[in-house]
């Protein structure tokens, strides 16, 4: 009533009353402001958990610059993968210094292992709890942990919001040799959410029953022949696809018939199917035209790719079957290989008709030069490898 009379101008307010009202107003305003700011703080703090994936990571101090790329990779911390990772990190430093290298702003390893490994101090590492503790030593299929480990990583981001440095997240394998910066546009083509690589051994049409069993009603023809690496997606799309990837991987591992039918690439099928389930479309360019990887000696050179993927062996034999030279990642599986990187021996000079690959086809000059280019870069990567601290070396055995 007093406020109504004042508004109506029925009687002047005394100086004392005015002072009282002023003090009261300031007090109420301060309390209301405190409550309001506390509410906003609570909303911001819970945003990642309640609305995860609908916006950039809650609490991040800045939005990543447009077109920047943050690399992700998974590992079980084996000597085999750590050898490859140390080489990869060296070649990563090389491409960062090239034109376009400024787009590469970060690299994070997701380690699914029960205990720390030798690389913890030299690469940003998220330590996930493994589904298969036995993989610390040896297990049949460590990559079945990958979807689960990635989900743990994305779940952790609200508490470490500045960990992601790039607008785009680029998943790779440890056995890549970077030759130049990744040459993708700042935005994907219209209708696509990102970029991926087509593998000729992923053929969903050839396994329709298994695809339908895993995802009833799926249009098998719509499943892309790809996998979780190499692929570039936004953080939001990674968060969207990863739960399906994790679930489908687990479903395959739990079904002996499906597991055996899909074989060693079954986790790649799980990811490809997850893309369809979540409505994420990726651009696929054929090998040779892809901006991602080239395989030697399957291909004759780097082509449009920015990295060599040495998943195939490059072993030379003389035409009569004698040993001539070779590099194969499967030669490097012991702890000592990861601890002390040893340069790959020089290749022999090319002589037409003198050498063949271990599989039988003759070594051509074009393929020989491409392999030499890759080996030279591997050796440069070794030269740039960050020395391991003594404490890290102690964890090797």
Q: Is the Cβ–Cβ distance between 149 and 142 less than 8 Å?
A: no
Q: How far apart are CA 239 and CA 154, in angstroms?
A: 7
* Together in a domain, 380 and 325: yes
| Other residues' Cβ atoms within 10 Å of the Cβ of residue 300 | 16
Query: 34 in a domain, yes or no?
Result: no
* Together in a domain, 194 and 337: no
* Together in a domain, 81 and 170: yes
Query: 217 in a domain, yes or no?
Result: yes
Task: Tell whether the model's pLDDT for residue 54 goes beyond 80.
Answer: no
* Together in a domain, 96 and 169: yes
Q: Which of 252, 284, 316 is the last residue of a domain?
A: 284
In the chain, DSSP finds a helix count (H) and a strand count (E) of 11, 13
Q: How far apart are CA 302 and CA 342, in angstroms?
A: 24
* Together in a domain, 260 and 321: no
Across all residues in the chain, what is the average pLDDT?
88
H-type alpha helices, the chain: 2-8, 15-50, 79-96, 146-156, 208-214, 235-254, 256-262, 266-277, 335-339, 365-383, 390-393
Query: 45 in a domain, yes or no?
Result: no
Q: How many domains does the chain have?
A: 2
* Together in a domain, 188 and 107: yes
Percent of the chain past pLDDT 90, that is, above it, reads: 82
pLDDT tens column, 202-246: 999 999 999 999 999 999 999 999 999 999 999 999 999 999 999
Would you place residue 31 in the very low, low, confident or very high pLDDT band (cuts 50, 70, 90)?
very low
* Together in a domain, 73 and 185: yes
* Together in a domain, 257 and 317: no
Query: 24 in a domain, yes or no?
Result: no
Write the CATH number for 106. Answer: 3.90.550.10
Query: Rounded mean pLDDT of 4-10?
Result: 36
Query: 73 in a domain, yes or no?
Result: yes
* Together in a domain, 313 and 234: no
Distant-in-sequence, close-in-space partners of 128: CB < 8 Å, separation ≥ 6: 110, 111, 112, 113, 145, 148, 149, 152, 153
Q: How far apart are CA 232 and CA 344, in angstroms?
A: 31
Query: 39 in a domain, yes or no?
Result: no
Query: Rounded mean pLDDT of 118-147?
Result: 97
Q: Structure tokens of 288?
A: 């040779």
pLDDT for 56 equals: 52
DSSP state of 169: E
Query: 250 in a domain, yes or no?
Result: yes
Q: Which of 284, 314, 329 is the last residue of a domain?
A: 284
Global pTM value: 0.85
* Together in a domain, 258 and 364: no
Q: Which of 257, 284, 311 is the last residue of a domain?
A: 284
pLDDT tens column, 339-354: 999 999 999 999 999 9
Integer Rg of the chain from CA: 28
* Together in a domain, 266 and 366: no
Lowest-pLDDT range, 45-54, 112-121, 271-280? 45-54
Query: 15 in a domain, yes or no?
Result: no
Task: Tell whether the model's pLDDT for residue 35 goes beyond 90.
Answer: no
Query: Rounded mean pLDDT of 83-101?
Result: 98
* Together in a domain, 103 and 235: yes
Q: What's the domain range around 360?
A: 293-396
């Amino acid at each position: 009533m007093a406020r109504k009379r004042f508004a109506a101008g029925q009687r002047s307010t005394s100086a004392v009353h005015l002072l009282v009202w002023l003090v009261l107003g300031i007090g109420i305003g301060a309390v209301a402001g405190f409550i309001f700011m506390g509410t906003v703080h609570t909303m911001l703090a819970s945003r990642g958990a309640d609305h995860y994936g609908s916006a950039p990571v809650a609490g991040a101090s800045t939005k990543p610059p447009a077109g920047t790329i943050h690399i992700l990779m998974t590992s079980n911390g084996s000597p085999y993968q750590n050898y490859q990772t140390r080489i990869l990190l060296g070649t990563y430093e090389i491409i960062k210094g090239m034109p376009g290298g400024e787009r590469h702003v970060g690299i994070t390893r997701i380690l699914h292992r029960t205990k720390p490994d030798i690389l913890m101090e030299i690469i940003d590492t998220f330590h996930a709890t493994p589904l298969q503790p036995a993989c610390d030593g040896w297990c049949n299929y460590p990559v079945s942990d990958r979807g689960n480990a990635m989900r743990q990583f994305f779940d952790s981001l609200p508490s470490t919001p500045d960990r992601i440095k790039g607008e785009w997240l680029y998943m790779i394998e440890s056995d890549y040799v970077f030759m130049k910066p990744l040459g993708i546009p700042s935005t994907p083509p219209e209708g696509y959410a990102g970029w991926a690589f087509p593998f000729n051994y992923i053929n969903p049409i050839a396994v329709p029953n298994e695809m339908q069993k895993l995802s009833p009603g799926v249009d098998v023809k719509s499943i892309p022949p790809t996998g979780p690496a190499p692929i570039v997606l936004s953080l939001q799309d990674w968060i969207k696809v990863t739960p399906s990837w994790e679930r489908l991987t687990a479903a395959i591992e739990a079904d002996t018939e499906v597991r055996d039918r899909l074989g060693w690439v079954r986790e790649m099928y799980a990811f490809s199917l997850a893309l369809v389930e979540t409505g994420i479309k990726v651009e696929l360019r054929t090998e040779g035209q892809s901006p991602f990887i080239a395989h030697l000696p399957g291909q004759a050179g780097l082509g449009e790719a920015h990295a060599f993927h040495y998943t195939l062996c490059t072993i030379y034999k003389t035409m009569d079957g004698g040993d001539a030279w070779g590099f194969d990642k499967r030669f490097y599986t012991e702890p000592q290989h990861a601890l002390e990187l040893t340069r790959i021996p020089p290749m022999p000079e090319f002589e037409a008709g003198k050498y063949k690959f271990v599989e039988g086809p003759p070594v051509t000059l074009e393929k020989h030069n491409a392999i030499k280019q890759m080996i030279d870069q591997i050796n440069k990567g070794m030269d740039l490898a960050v020395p391991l601290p003594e404490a890290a070396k102690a964890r090797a055995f």
